[in-house]
Amino acid sequence: MEPEYTETTDSYSNDSFDDASVQTEEPEFAAESESYDAASASSASSASQAPAPETTAPETTIYREPEPSVDPALLKTYENAHKIFSTLFEEIGKVIVGQEEVVEQVMIALLCNGHALLESNPGLGKTLTISTISKVVDLSFNRIQCTPDLMPADITGTTIVEEHGGNKTFRFEQGPVFANIVLADEINRASPKTQSALLEAMQEKQVTVAGHTYPLDKPFFVLATQNPIEQEGTYPLPEAQLDRFLLKILVPYPDYNEELEIVNRYTAQTTPETSRGISKETLVSLQKLTRDIPISEELKQRTIKLIMRTRDGGAIEYGASPRASIAVILASKARALVHGRNYVSEEDVIAMSYPVLRHRIILSFEAERSGVMPDDAIEDLLIEAGFLQARPQTSESSGLRAKLPFGKK
């Protein structure tokens, strides 16, 4: 049996061995040995005349997991993340006046690869905001104007018959859902049958027509709008479909200075325009970076307990599902990345709890009769969980806790 040699052995001489040493078992050499000389070979030869000592098991080699290689393109995107978001918001700001929080939350939905529902009174720029973001991020964009007579085939597409030289063939004509960003304008005006046509696309990122499944281009987002004050001819979204939206974003009225700027900007000779900010590939890299943002185990556990409090009854009739826990943590990671932090803070969890939970909780009849809004219930949950400090009660009717304290039914 030949002696073993390690990579660190410096030299090996044939003169160092005689016939006896070749026929006998040689000692093992450690990785740190530098040379093997004739003296050691001689002692090994003499040792062969004595009874063979007990063989010892070879030393166990410790396996070390190789360090993961970092994608250079992903690392470059991380280093330039602050500049990327600054450019994005600057380009969007050329068209959209104010609404920084709304724009930020829509971008967070894109970073989380999720869908968003924008709700506001008419004329506050919901449609313009979505179309502007699609141009800045350089994604294909289609708009669906929802009406009561809209059919599912008008969204997903349909199979048509073509005739060439007497031969008839079937061809699938893609609908407007085949785009990176689909704007479902006034989605609550569409019938439930048509609304359900978006469910498979939103969840599975695919469309099934006439028994054939067609994958959608990635990334894929549904950004829907709805008007809360107009109830005639509308069909409220069922809870199952509402839960498919990562965020429900409320678009507020602009303040005086913002409205003055809107009037000045859109009553001039030129119309504000924007240019491309980032590519589709950069957006996909930012989506990967979002999931790599760390969150402490203690904050994660507190966030989960916050979601579980929605199921304790009291002012909330039906609480949020585990999908809400995933959404809050993932959206908090995206917000931390947008704000240039490499960790999730309490501030992120507080800010994202409102758009994640406001469409996932159903208030009790007593709470609604008392004028309690979902955001009031969410604020009370954050106070109960220790994320916020209780505000002083200004009147007998203010404060959800004074009227409808949380707890078991």
Q: Which residues pair with 125 in a beta bridge?
A: none
pLDDT of 392 reads: 67
Q: Where are the beta strands (DSSP E) in 75-187?
A: 116-119, 141-145, 157-164, 167-174, 181-185
List Cα–Cα distances, 307 to 250, 297, 353, in angstroms: 21, 16, 9
- Residues 309 and 328: beta-carbon distance below 8 Å: no
Provide the residue-wise pLDDT of the chain in tens; the chain has 409 residues.
444 444 444 444 444 444 444 444 444 444 444 444 444 444 444 444 445 555 555 555 555 544 555 677 777 777 778 888 888 888 888 888 888 899 999 999 999 999 999 998 888 888 888 888 888 888 888 999 988 888 888 888 888 887 777 787 888 888 889 989 999 988 888 888 888 888 888 888 888 887 788 888 888 999 999 888 766 667 888 887 888 899 999 999 999 999 999 999 888 888 887 877 788 888 888 999 999 899 999 999 999 999 999 988 778 888 888 999 999 999 999 999 999 888 999 999 999 999 999 999 988 888 888 888 899 999 999 998 888 887 766 544 444 443 444 444 3
Q: Burial-class residue 375 by CB neighbours within 10 Å (0-12, 13-18, 19+).
A: middle
Distance of CA 170 to the CA centre of its chain: 38
- At the top level of CATH, the class of 293-409 is mainly alpha
Class of domain 72-290: alpha beta
Rounded to whole angstroms, what are the CA distances from 250 to 103, 288, 381?
11, 27, 19
Task: Using alpha carbons, list the distances in angstroms from residue 363 to 41, 230, 313.
Answer: 87, 21, 9
Q: How far is CA 80 from the centre of its chain?
A: 19
Q: Which of 288, 290, 303 is nearest to 357 (CA)?
A: 303
Amino acid identity at 51:
P
Domain ranges across the chain: 1-64, 72-290, 293-409
At residue 347, the pLDDT reads 94
Which two structure tokens, joined as six digits, stand for 263?
Answer: 């009037």
Q: Are 112 and 243 in contact (CB under 8 A)?
A: no
| Pick from 55, 27, 51: nearest CA to 39 | 27
Cα→Cα distances 8→1, 5, 32, 38, 58, Å: 21, 8, 7, 18, 18
Read off the pTM: 0.75
Distance, in Å, from the CA atom of 319 to the CA atom of 311, rounded to the nearest integer, reads: 4
